Amino acid sequence: MLRTLKMKRHIILVLLSLISLAGSAQEKIGSNLEIDKNIHDFGDVLIENGPVSCTFTVKNIGQAPAVIYNVVSSCGCTDVKWTREPLRPGAEGKISVTYSNDEGPYPFDKSLTVYFSDVKKPYILKVRGIAHEKQKSLEELYGVHFGSLGIKETYIKCGNLEQGGMRSDFVNVANLSDRPLKVDFKDVSEHLTVNVTPNPIPARATAELEFTIKASRDKWGRNDYWAVPVIDGDTHSANNGDKRLGFWAFTKEDFKGLSEEEKSKGPRPQFESSTWTFGKIKGGETVHATFEFTNKGSKPFCIYKVDVNACKWSHSTIPVAEPGETVGFRVHLDTTGMPKGEVLAIVNLTTNSPLRPIVNLFITGWIE
């Protein structure tokens, strides 16, 4: 996907070289179909300009006719039309998507579930972008500034990765100055690679900050990765106080080698409740949340790691649960420094269960 998006930008600058690469940009669907991309990013769009549209192109590379049976949108704000007649070998079909673009301002990320003949699983397409009420300057669109480098946020969520797995993606950045800007990085974390394309970034232009994370095989749960931007040879603290870019992802066990039957026979936790409510307390008190679960599977269940989205917390020892056994553990949440009002702490468990490799629990209440 990342390679496809890069090629689409390069077509403006280096058309001849792109023509030679166009074939490798295709995404395979099963063994008989190809699609030119699986994500279309509209970027920054203005609500006042009305609906925005894009097209996905599907090609039959097999020996028999293929059919796009159905395309289901994740919401009513996305209208979809597609080629209804069978695609003969070598023929192309279109999936045309129009996003209404009448709400916002906020980011949008919509899914399209596509059903093909002779493809067992539905295929997911995405359209995304950011809707704005009015035209904004580069400085407004990219509000975090490392010197003349603008970015929208300094802490980027990268989702879930299996052990040893790899994920590549990009975020847009901008050169806020009137001259080309050279961007490098230092103090880059192990398992992270990051670069900017094009580099230098032309004056008052945008670029892609590309990153790849390769998940460690010995670090479970949430892992943070860091890189310090170097702008024209100098480092700068951002206008929000940050001195580096952060990327975070959850590493879970890789169960892809297991059959569905093997997964169903693995450990399977059933929690008595996924939420612990502590009521009203004074700031600075420590909450002791108790969670109990029963292993409904046929193999021992264990929790590799506990993560909580709070500054000060700890947890009790969590025993391995044998099949049929009920066990419990406690999370101790220190509310010192937390603002008054409603509290929602998310407890993330990384486990050895093929059916529930990551479990989310919640601690809620009110600080007076």
pLDDT digits (tens, 9 = 90+) for 272-322: 999 999 999 999 999 999 999 999 999 999 999 999 999 999 999 999 999
What rounded mean pLDDT belongs to the chain? 89
Whether residue 33 has pLDDT greater than 70: yes
Name the pairing type of β-strands 123-132 and 39-46.
parallel
Of 190, 196, 230, 186, nearest to 213 by C-alpha is: 190
Q: Spell out the domain ranges in the chain.
A: 2-132, 142-252, 260-367
pLDDT at 22 over 80: no
Q: How far apart are the first and last CA of the chain?
A: 48
Domain 2-132 identical in fold to domain 142-252: yes
Instruction: Evaluate whether 142 touches 177 at the Cβ level (below 8 Å).
Output: no
Please tell me the class of the 2-132 domain: mainly beta
Distances (CA, A) of 29 to 59, 123, 167, 349: 10, 8, 19, 33
In this prediction, residue 105 carries a pLDDT of 82
**Mean pLDDT, residues 5-27 taken together:** 41
* CATH number for the domain whose boundaries are 260-367: 2.60.40.10
- Digit-coded pLDDT (tens) for 158-171: 888 898 899 999 99
Maximum average pLDDT range among 16-20, 217-221, 357-361? 357-361
Question: Quick one: 91 exposed, middle or buried, by C-beta within 10 A (0-12, 13-18, 19+)?
Answer: middle
Q: Percentages helix, strand, coil for the chain, rounded to the nearest 5?
A: 10, 50, 40
pLDDT at 192: 96
Which amino acid appears at position 145 of this protein? H
pLDDT at 18: 35
Q: How confident is the model at residue 17 (pLDDT cuts 50, 70, 90)?
A: very low
Phi/psi for 12 (5° steps) reads: -70, -35
Q: Is 167 strand, coil or helix?
A: strand
Q: What is the pLDDT of residue 25?
A: 53
Distance between CA 356 and CA 164 in Å, rounded? 19
Assigned CATH for 142-252: 2.60.40.10
